[in-house]
Structure 1
Amino acid sequence: MDSRCSSSVDSTGVGSINNALLSARVDSYEAAEKKCISDVRRTFCLFVTFDLLFISLLWIIELNVKGSIEKQLEEEVLHYDYHTSSFDIFLLAVFRFAVLILAYAVCKLRHWWAIAITTAVSCAFLIAKVILSQLLSQGAFGYLLPIISFVLAWIETWLLDFKVLPQEAEDENRYQSIIDATAPLMCPGPLSDGQFYSPPESVADSDEDLDDKHDPEKGLIQQVT
């Protein structure tokens, strides 16, 4: 009897420890899910921000190299010319930043269609810009801005398609496997024989019973009470 009771207690203790560990893992995953975005998605959003800031910096340097920034801004923005201005490359970086941050940081999209749109638009525009414009005759920055913008767009696509989405899908699968493993442990298992025991039987003809038999008045009083 004692061995069965101890084995039942041991199994119950081990089961409760396993349940506690699995519950802790589930709670940690749910706490991570409650954060704004995952770590890999945050890295992707930081790179998208870097894309905008880097293109902006290169464009400002180009304006400064050509002459006064105020004068160059007036020529490239107010008197915009597709063939000579780099302002549209800066606007293209702003377009990528706005679409990707809205899709993958604000809306937390888990699909590749937004990055496919931005990359396709960026590639088509930059190829047409290089072919039709006169940027290549304006020195090093005429080459640098289109090439850097093209490369950054494809790096963003690689990050999302090979890092962000697979990592998040793997985390979801791991969480689902933990839930599937926790479900049967949370259900009450079959009761073992050691959980049931009978109280020890009273000794026949105990001293009290013998006294009652020898003293019928005492037995009568106990029955009345």
Structure 2
Amino acid sequence: MNPLPQNMENALTGSQSSHASLRDVHSINPTQLMARIESYEGREKKGISDVRRTFCLFVTFDLLFVTLLWIIELNVNGGIENTLEKEVVQYDYYSSYFDIFLLAVFRFKVLILAYAVCRLRHWWAIALTTAVTSAFLLAKVILSKLFSQGAFGYVLPIISFILAWIETWFLDFKVLPQEAEEENRLLIVQDASERAALIPGGLSDGQFYSPPESEAV
């Protein structure tokens, strides 16, 4: 049997598949594509994504929560004015909580500057703040006498340590991956829009045809 008809049939089948793929591209609705692009561009114009805004809000909560605990500690240990003078003016590394408050201020300034003002898309800033926080708190817990000063000797270092690592987890597993996914979606939609724009008008199914099969010889 002559193999020519079978080869021709395979070629025609491949031609029909390519025509089907072309129909899929031509069937893309330009209006929907433009709506999606405008939606993504609108998010970009806001300057900061929703998940990044949530991260910055949590960083602010970190500072306010540690500040609140420190003020409570000042008030419990003999009044705010007297204790404030003792911990700030007469600062002692081994007994003062003032440095833990400054550590929260340090995290707040670095993270807000990096991820809200500069809109950094890298983890180095959060790695810096978490490393500094962890090293300082571990050294302070080992060397200082905080545990002999009541419950706050446990609460402030532990809370500060946990908040720093929650910020690291949130940025590394939520903020950066979601923003990268949104950016990839925007690129895909823009690419589809550019391909659809090359077609002056929608093509009907009647414009695609396959030649009749040849009779077997």
State the TM-score, normalizing by the size of structure 2.
Answer: 0.79
* Equivalent-residue separation in structure 2 for 1:62 and 1:31 (angstroms): 46
Matched, 1:109 2:135: no
Deviation at 1:188, TM superposition (A): 3.3
Identify unmatched segments of 5+ residues in structure 2. 1-25, 207-217
Residue identity matched to 1:83:
Y
Matched, 1:155 2:183: no
CA contact (8 A) 2:74 2:80 kept: yes
* Equivalent-residue separation in structure 1 for 2:200 and 2:120 (angstroms): 41
Partner of 2:145: 134
Partner of 1:179: 190
Residue identity matched to 2:55:
F
Q: State the Cα deviation string for residues 8-42 of structure 1 (Å, max 9, x = none).
A: xxxxxxx6981111011101110111003100000
Q: Which has the higher contact order (CA 8 A, sep 6+)?
A: 2
Partner of 1:71: 82
Identical counterparts, % of pairs = 72
Matched, 1:121 2:132: yes
* Equivalent-residue separation in structure 2 for 1:52 and 1:190 (angstroms): 57
Matched, 1:62 2:67: no
Q: State the Cα deviation string for residues 132-191 of structure 1 (Å, max 9, x = none).
A: 100011010000000000000000000000000000000001111101111111013599
Query: RMSD over aligned Cα, in angstroms?
Result: 2.1
Identify unmatched segments of 5+ residues in structure 1. 1-14, 195-225
Q: Return closer, same or farther for 1:191/1:40 CA change in 2, 3 Å cut-off.
A: closer
SS of equivalent to 2:29: helix
Aligned residues: 181
Deviation at 1:125, TM superposition (A): 0.1
Larger radius of gyration: 1
**Correspondent of 2:45 among 16, 34, 48:** 34
Q: Return closer, same or farther for 1:169/1:17 CA change in 2, 3 Å cut-off.
A: closer
Q: State the Cα deviation string for residues 34-75 of structure 1 (Å, max 9, x = none).
A: 003100000000000000000000000001110110000000
* Equivalent-residue separation in structure 1 for 2:99 and 2:202 (angstroms): 74
SS of equivalent to 2:85: helix
* Equivalent-residue separation in structure 1 for 2:89 and 2:201 (angstroms): 80
Partner of 2:155: 144
**Which runs of 4 or more aligned residues in structure 1 lie more than 4 Å from their structure 2 counterparts after TM superposition?**
189-192
